Structure 1
């Protein structure tokens, strides 16, 4: 199975239904932080899927992925969301950090046709930067501090609502897919993960 079919496609059926039913995007919650176009590049140093026998997947051409997603949430500090291809998954918002984790059943070719119980657990972990913070780091995620922290000097303001919309210009972080073997009649036995560095630019 190609990695591109799994990443950020938590429920392809629901995604297709959502796209078919709405001509204009509708996002959950009452505050939309923005839609971002992401480039995800595999980090071979942190990726444990190496194509060895017993692993659920062969990454193949999965070294680079491009996708779009929208951050939204409830203003009262309740639920948060991340929407991809019309499918909204839960997200946790804490300061400038947003973490969205979703798990979905998956059939892996390496596990055999009779395998059941295999799945993918996917986590998108990003930090949102305001326009002034983005300028401070040189408008690139590589300009962040070594620990991934956002510089606090230079007079930059954190992301937040403005008269012209929500001020969040860039998203930096990681995308991790944990491939988990099934529990019955499976030829795959070794879980592995693919880790990507992620950089997103606001497009809407």
Structure 2
């Protein structure tokens, strides 16, 4: 009987020795995920660790579905989630648009922006028809088009949404599932898969972090 008690005590001791560090690690990781600042990104998804070295969105000028001019000044002071799409896309774009709709339905006070990579087809009139048909792109959500070379330069050198090279010419094409999170000062603060519900939930959590960061 004493031997059994000693064995039980030894097991309990080992559980405490192993369990306490694991529990402490879990608490630290949870705190980091909830309260640690988001990274500041530079070119090609590089974490610059602080804003002084990070990339800040440069000037752009596009056209909305309502055929109105939209430029970088319109995004200042607002958290923004941006991504690329095209209205005739049969694969990842519909899934991404559904996830963007979930972000809008969350009630977060942010800009949502969908930038077409097929401006030859996605004219303002086509975007308007898409909005009426699908219900996307209303309220705080803009669908944008413009000159292809400028759109592709924005994707590659503004959002760094892809590492591929190209000139925005007739044979150039970009297709990506990334959602890009920008803070109110127009620094890139996160990249997420727009086809992953888990990553979109993380994005929503990170939006709250940025709102508390102001």
Fold-level similarity (TM above 0.5): no
Q: The TM-score by the shorter chain falls in which range? A: under 0.3
TM-score normalised to the size of structure 2?
0.22
Q: Which has the higher strand share?
A: 1
Structure index of larger Rg: 2
- TM-score, normalized by length of structure 1? 0.23
